[in-house]
Chain A
């Protein structure tokens, strides 16, 4: 036998080890009829960030000040006079502070009258009552099924579906670091992705169907790979690399979908969840329930994905708070403020004891570039998903 593996055909039978496919193929062969040929295409995720649609005037109470100004308010709330604040700031600007202002900000929480770390104890900080977004549009899906009658529902600016639930956009939409669009990426999410992309195994997406160029049923898989994402010299994600799916089931997600008018959507929206292990430096896991998604293939072979669902907001808070003062200064702005925003606008998964919602509706925008994806568990010479 040749030492060379069989070359992956453009049309491939994908995920040979998935029992359902194996059974279908065997049954067909026993009946003397060829199994229906399927086509699989693969991509690797090249961007992940909250899908934002910031518009002029969508913050009726104004955009929240940047952290540099916010912290002056924090110091005032702590009882410092204007002169004392000026002195602290001037000391820092002159490089003479010796870190005096830093510990004051970090330990601005008060628990039984004692200073405590504001990121560990956000509820020990007085709610700064940051402004939320009040616009009409936000990307997303009707997650609660209530349509336009849903309280606070948005309209998707692309599909014009009404009743869109994206309360995370409402919560963060007036924070300067979270404002942006699909093309002008919000600063916080750009930073987050820059951390994730080089520090965790890549995420891969595959579509399998009889003919992916036509409307019809498909299977969508979103998995974590074994390999890291590979980039070009210019920092952009490299096309056409090969990735192996990580056999760890915690990062494997399969959905039944369909292509309708060239766009891939779920056949049973809102019934499944998504779990992907990610860089613990940001958050240990990316997870959402009641998932809905929309995937669009572009002529340049890239893929755009809108991924919506209810996300445990504690996961998000962890990702902000784990970076503590550095995050607050450079990326997120007032972290306890974000805590209060998410707590206020969380709209799902009520804690039966307290009644507090533990999840918040969110929509993420992903892009992906063509890649070859080898299914988990396949042997080395196993079939590889064509790009």
Chain B
């Protein structure tokens, strides 16, 4: 009998049908879960929160599930910074239509790589009876296995049936088992259940009328916080066995995760977010003025600070505040040229630069992450340094203090006048004679002027336009004479440690802790100090706290407003 459609049309129709079914089953889980939640819980149950996974988390999950040889390609939608953190913004963003197209394109690319000749034997745990026909048993085995990891919980039978069905229709249409499987996997990777973390709630037996995350949501909360990735099989097993709902079991999993080398990814992710290192990718400099600068230098600079952080906090188990004074860091040859210090490579000629440990001498003005290129160059315009921007960044990022936005009609004539005023100190002093500017500048400039020994690209200098640089400054009444003094002042300022706790707790929760959680935050502050300002210990305290998994009942007051200079909540910033 003649087929009803030409082969080409049948082929296209097969793909289209499979795609429609795939999308339908990708969207199924959210509606199904919402309906299920509605039916199964009291009417007072707070609405579940969704947090879009970050690009880095997406990457980590894909590499965990499919291995590092699968390439992601493409770019993700911009993220949103709220209250100083992208992690907080992640609770407030959805995906635009264009963003979904990007997610879908990346998902299809990943799926096609997973099933290609190179990977299929390694990644698919079974072989179809015939490659030209559907094999529901094999598809079910594969999709059930990866679905559990991608959705961070086992797929309900109906949902798995839908995915297997989509793979079946696809394979039948194109007469290729693997392409059918890829269509279904692609739909899975485009699913909101994968792209968003859902805080599924259940009544909290220990909190009358209260709620807590269910075991799988708890596993996700823990894993994204500590590892910046989805739960591994052991954590999922702990969730499924009920282990995570016992304090002992939770502590056991937290200990395991903190002892894992993967904690580094979690620590890095927090500091990339907290220190706004996502900004570094868009930094440009005038190479006529800063000839050593290039994109690679900036990438290295960001990595330098991250290595400094990881070494001090994780490897040395050091005091967080020492990040502002430590003389120890890691440099490449290229960064050595920026810092004007020798960095001896260890590789044969032509090899990429290696990272070498380096320690500045005790009396060297350089030391602490504030004097590193990632800070000084990021918070400078393209053609010069900026005490004001650096002071503002330090206040907002390191001390969690909000600096009001400048008025719209600022006259920058004096600040840009390098003819009459050689140094930034002189120019800013002249600018400060404008009464409407003076108020804010006095909380930024005395900090930033201490970093004037670093030009707009972070290179050390002692003069500006031929005039000697005076790097003295002041922070909250503490005076100092050079960048080292600034680092010491930040180290000793209680706001630095307080800020870290506030940010880390907000990062972990995905929102600024509400009023009801303030006692918990206060407890974290005390615990952080008592443990010698050790960040891994603070992470452990957060991860083992009930408050980390409890959800405020409906009607809980909004987050407290920050005090003093931080009374104004920051405006959302769209990450470019």
> A-side interface residues toward B, CB under 8 Å?
2-5, 7-8, 201, 226-228, 230, 232-234, 236, 238-242, 244, 372, 374, 380, 382, 384, 386-387
Task: Check A227 against B349 for contact (C-beta < 8 Å).
Answer: yes
* Known A3-B357, A4-B358, A230-B337: A236·B291 in contact at CB below 8 Å: yes
Pairwise interchain contact A228-B350, C-beta atoms closer than 8 A: yes
Instruction: Choose from A201, A241, A242, A374 the contact partner of B349 (Cβ within 8 Å).
Output: A201
Decide yes or no whether B523 CB sits under 8 A from chain A.
no
Listed in ascending order, the chain B residues whose CB lies under 8 Å from chain A are 287-288, 291-294, 328, 333-334, 336-338, 340-346, 348-350, 356-361
Smallest CB separation, B315 vs chain A (Å) = 10
Q: How many A-B residue pairs have CB under 8 A?
A: 79
Contact assessment for B358 and A241 in the assembled complex, using a CB-CB cutoff below 8 Å: no
Tell me the nearest residue of chain A to B294, going by C-beta.
Answer: A233
- The residue of chain B having its C-beta at the shortest distance from the C-beta of A201 within the complex is B349
* Complex: A312 Cα to B242 Cα, angstroms: 84
| B359 A380 Cβ-Cβ under 8 A | no
A234 and B288 within 8 A (CB): yes
Known: A239-B292, A244-B344. A233 touches B350 (CB 8 A): no
Q: With a CB–CB cut-off of 8 A, which chain B residues contact A239?
A: 292, 337, 340
Query: Chain A residues with Cβ under 8 A from B338's Cβ?
Result: 240
Contact between B333 and A5, CB atoms less than 8 A apart: no
Give Cα A226 to B348, complex, Å: 7
B179 to chain A, nearest CB (A): 46
Q: Would you give the shortest CB distance from A324 to chain B, in whole angstroms?
A: 28
Task: Give the residue of A3, A5, A232, A387 whose beta carbon is less than 8 angstroms from that of B287.
Answer: A232
Tell me how far the C-beta of B185 lies from the nearest C-beta in chain A, rounded to whole angstroms: 43
Judge whether B345 and A234 touch: CB under 8 Å: no
Considering the complex, give the chain B residue whose CB is closest to the CB of A3.
Answer: B357
Contacts of A372 in B (CB 8 A): 336, 341-343
13 more A-B residue pairs beyond the given contacts A8-B342, A234-B288, A244-B344, with a C-beta to C-beta distance below 8 A: A3-B357, A4-B359, A5-B357, A7-B358, A226-B348, A227-B349, A233-B293, A234-B287, A236-B291, A238-B334, A239-B337, A242-B337, A380-B344
Which A residues are CB-close (under 8 A) to B287?
Answer: 232-234
Contact (A232, B349) CB under 8 Å given A239-B337, A242-B333: no
Minimum-distance CB pairs A-B, first 3: A372-B342, A384-B342, A4-B359
Chain B residue with minimal CB distance to A238?
B337
Closest to A2 in B: B359
A-B contact pairs, 21 of them (CB 8 A): A5-B344, A5-B359, A7-B358, A7-B361, A8-B342, A226-B345, A226-B349, A227-B349, A228-B350, A230-B334, A232-B287, A233-B293, A236-B291, A239-B292, A241-B334, A241-B336, A242-B337, A242-B343, A372-B341, A380-B346, A386-B342
Contacts of B349 in A (CB 8 A): 201, 226-228
- Given B294, B344, B350, B358, which contacts A374 in the complex, CB threshold below 8 Å? B344
Output the least CB separation between B350 and chain A (Å). Answer: 7
Given contacts A227-B345, A232-B287, contact A7 B336 (CB under 8 A): no
The smallest C-beta distance from B186 to any residue of chain A, in angstroms, reads 41
In the complex, A372→B288 CA distance in Å?
A: 24
Question: Quick check: A240 and B337 within 8 Å, CB to CB?
Answer: yes
Q: Which residues of B lie under 8 Å from residue A201 when comparing CB positions? A: 349
What's the nearest-Cβ distance from chain B to residue A150, in Å?
43
- Residues of B near A236 (CB, < 8 A) are 291
Identify which of B336, B338, B344, B358 gathers the most chain A CB atoms within 10 Å of its CB. B344
Given known pairs A232-B292, A234-B288, A240-B337, the reply for A4 and B342 (CB within 8 Å) is no
Residue of B nearest to A381 (CB): B344
The residues of A that contact B291 with a CB separation of less than 8 Å are: 232-234, 236, 238
| B residues less than 8 Å from A5 (CB atoms) | 344, 356-359
Known: A5-B358, A234-B287. A240 touches B336 (CB 8 A): yes
Once bound together, how far apart are the Cα atoms of A386 and B336, in whole Å? 12
Closest to A244 in B: B344
Answer whether A7 and B359 are a contact pair too, CB < 8 Å, given A233-B294, A236-B291, A238-B292.
yes
